[in-house]
Amino acid sequence: MNIVILAAGQGKRMHSNLPKVLHPVAGKALVAHVIDTARHLSPQTLCLVYGHGGDAVRSTLDAPDLTWALQEPQLGTGHAVQQALPYLKGNGTTLILYGDVPLIQTETLKRLLHAAQDALAILTVELADPSGYGRIVRNDARQVVRIVEEKDSTVEERRIHEINTGIMAMPTARLSEWLGRLSNNNAQKEYYLTDIVGMAVEAGLPLRTANPKFEWEVLGVNSKVQLAELERIAQRSNAEQLMEQGVRLADPARLDVRGELVCGRDVYIDVNCVFEGKVVLDEAVEVGPNCVLKNACIGAGTRLAAFTHIEDAVVGPDGMIGPFARLRPGTELAEDVHIGNFVEVKKSRIAAHSKINHLAYIGDAIIGSRVNVGAGTITCNYDGANKFQTIIEDDAFIGSDTQLVAPVTVGRGATLGAGTTLTKDAPPDTLTISRAKQISITGWKRPVKTKK
Ligand code: UD1
Ligand code: CA
């Protein structure tokens, strides 16, 4: 079986420098959705027809299992498939997909392929408003006899609601024979793939139609408005899948998954959260409102409070993060770690039961277990040229408003007095403090305003 994905169309109505098929839906390029769905069918050949200005398409998507056929200029859907013909294998079936119809489902394609054994099978749908589409013309016996493009149609044909989705499958040998006979004698002066329908009828080959389970599977993208519509459909369908797996969503309409979200049992997600890349939420994780998580793993029972932002980080089980916490790349938190409001952590490992609850910056640090980091603590990890490491050993207590000038180590069980600027290692089990001596001046008078 061969699959050909047509992706050479210009997409003028997107008004964008980005090729149409590279625009994202649910965090993935339109055509990448189609490629992934095609891969589920394990084709022998997976050929992409790409067009003028399409080098970006090829370089963005290239993979060892893809074959590329350049179509330049673009002279219609039939001409597009002609370009793929030299790469198609064997006597089996060829399936034609569109790169700008991203939500087509594997199950629907399996049904279409089943119908295409020794037949031309067309995926059709009845639309309330069929305008713009090619119409399926049937005879009195309800057999398909041809597809007529709207621009070539009569007033009567325009009343037909059954449309050609463009997705079809047929015996490869027949396809190659028919493509050679296409002409561009029509309103658009294009080589129409749809003209093969008449040829199949003429050759006495059975014509069969299949329908998608959902109408949205065959919606295409021609504009930013349609792109946004498909985004909502994709998100809704994804939210439903998550709920069916047992995830509790405060509002399925206010969840955005732009990648892959894997959830354990009894996960709860509040409104307006965005998940990018691959995110794993283990059992009973709770995500508060307005959190953004990208490429992150969150351990069982951890609670992320509102406005938490996490990227390329691992959070252990039973943690409490946020509100307003930021975990940057390279952060690894063990179990029961508390990261509070306005705390930023970067490229740091924090061991079990440690707490950094208020207003702190922890960068390039290794922090042991049961450490308490006071409010306003800052690791001074950067001298303007290089980055240095801070090590805080188990059971240390860091007083508020401390600066740890790296490289520096705080020993096990050490205490740093509030306001310390630590420039040398702090010994274990000892109070270290750097602070100007406090004095009180008796008899001191506040200045008063001088009279003019
Ligand atoms: C085509 C069908 C029409 C169907 C409609 C569904 C033909 C003649 N018409 O319409 O019956 O209802 O799709 O959307 O087939 N493409 C190329 N190269 C080209 C032209 C198109 O790769 O030279 C690709 C486009 O990128 C797109 C797809 O083919 O993915 C369909 O092209 P488009 O122009 O949107 O479809 P129509 O010709 O309007
Ligand atoms: Ca066209």
Give the domain CATH number at 67: 3.90.550.10
Average per-residue pLDDT in the chain? 97
Give the ligand with the smallest distance to the CA of 135.
Answer: 1
Q: Are residues 106 and 240 in the same domain?
A: no
Of 161, 186, 218, the domain-final residue: 218
Q: Note the pTM of the prediction, 2 decimals.
A: 0.93
Question: How many whole angstroms from its chain centre is CA 300?
Answer: 24
In the predicted model, what is the mean pLDDT of residues 409-431? Answer: 98
Q: Are residues 163 and 212 in the same domain?
A: yes
Does any domain span residue 381?
Answer: yes
Q: Is 185 helix (H, G, I), strand (E, B) or coil?
A: coil
Q: Are residues 253 and 335 in the same domain?
A: yes
**pLDDT band at 332, cuts 50/70/90?**
very high
Does any domain span residue 437?
Answer: no
CATH number of the domain within which 299 lies: 2.160.10.10
Q: What tens digit of pLDDT does each residue of 177-207 get? A: 999 999 999 999 999 999 999 999 999 999 9
Q: Are residues 214 and 260 in the same domain?
A: no
Q: Which atom of ligand 1 is nearest to the CA of 78?
A: 15
Rounded CA-CA distance 66/45 in Å is 7
pLDDT for the residue 54: 83
User: Is the pLDDT confidence value at 452 over 90?
Assistant: no
pLDDT for the residue 87: 97
pLDDT for the residue 9: 87
pLDDT for the residue 44: 97
Strands (E), 26-132: 28-29, 45-51, 67-71, 93-98, 120-126
Q: Are residues 412 and 297 in the same domain?
A: yes
Contact 97, 21 (CB under 8 A): no
Does any domain span residue 191?
Answer: yes
What sign results for the dihedral spanned by CA atoms 104, 106, 112, 113? positive
Does any domain span residue 385?
Answer: yes
Please report, in angstroms and rounded to a whole number, the separation of the first and last CA atoms in the chain. 96
Whole-number Å distance, alpha carbon 20 to ligand 2 midpoint, is 14
Q: Are residues 325 and 365 in the same domain?
A: yes
Torsion from C-alpha of 44, 49, 53, 54, nearest 10 degrees: -20
Does any domain span residue 242?
Answer: yes
To test ligand 1's pocket by mutation, which of 10, 21, 77 has the most ligand atoms within 8 angstroms of CB? 77
Q: What tens digit of pLDDT does each residue of 62-90 get? A: 999 999 999 999 999 999 999 999 999 98
Rounded CA-CA distance 5/412 in Å is 62
Rounded CA-CA distance 394/27 in Å is 41
Contact 205, 119 (CB under 8 A): yes
Does any domain span residue 337?
Answer: yes
Give the ligand with the smallest distance to the CA of 148.
Answer: 1
Q: What tens digit of pLDDT does each residue of 2-14 get? A: 999 999 988 899 9
Does any domain span residue 237?
Answer: yes
Does any domain span residue 134?
Answer: yes
Q: Are residues 272 and 162 in the same domain?
A: no
3-state helix, strand, coil in the chain (%, to 5): 20, 35, 45
Cβ–ligand 1 distance for 2 under 6 Å, the answer no
CA distances, 354 to each of 316, 362, 399 (Å): 12, 13, 14
What φ, ψ does residue 355 adopt, rounded to 5°? Answer: -135, 130
Of 184, 218, 252, the domain-final residue: 218
In the predicted model, what is the mean pLDDT of residues 152-161? Answer: 97
Range of the domain at 189: 2-218
User: Is the pLDDT confidence value at 52 over 80?
Assistant: no
In the predicted model, what is the mean pLDDT of residues 252-258? Answer: 98
Q: How many distinct structural domains can be found in the chain?
A: 2
Give the ligand with the smallest distance to the CA of 132.
Answer: 1
Q: Are residues 263 and 320 in the same domain?
A: yes
pLDDT for the residue 355: 98
Cβ–ligand 1 distance for 54 under 6 Å, the answer no
Q: Are residues 46 and 143 in the same domain?
A: yes
Cβ–ligand 1 distance for 411 under 6 Å, the answer no
Q: Are residues 92 and 120 in the same domain?
A: yes
Q: Which atom of ligand 1 is nearest to the CA of 79?
A: 23
pLDDT for the residue 90: 82
pLDDT for the residue 172: 97
Q: Specify the residue with its C-alpha closest to ligand 1, atom 13.
A: 166
pLDDT for the residue 100: 96
The residue assigned the tokens 């037909």 is 160
What percent of the chain is predicted at pLDDT more than 70?
A: 100
Residues 6 or more apart in contact with residue 352 via CB below 8 angstroms: 316, 334, 335, 336, 337, 369, 370
Residues 6 or more apart in contact with residue 322 via CB below 8 angstroms: 288, 291, 304, 305, 306, 307, 308, 339, 340, 341
Q: What tens digit of pLDDT does each residue of 211-245 get? A: 999 999 999 999 999 999 999 999 999 999 999 99
Output the 3-class SS for 348-402: CEECCCCEEEEEEEEECEEECCCCEECCCCEEECECCCCECCEEECCCCEECCCC
Q: Are residues 178 and 300 in the same domain?
A: no
What percent of the chain is predicted at pLDDT more than 90?
A: 98
Torsion from C-alpha of 158, 160, 166, 170, nearest 10 degrees: -130
**pLDDT band at 300, cuts 50/70/90?**
very high
User: Which tokens go with 107?
Assistant: 């199950």
Q: Are residues 184 and 118 in the same domain?
A: yes
Of 170, 198, 218, the domain-final residue: 218
Contact 131, 235 (CB under 8 A): no
Whole-number Å distance, alpha carbon 77 to ligand 1 midpoint, is 5
pLDDT for the residue 234: 98
pLDDT for the residue 11: 87
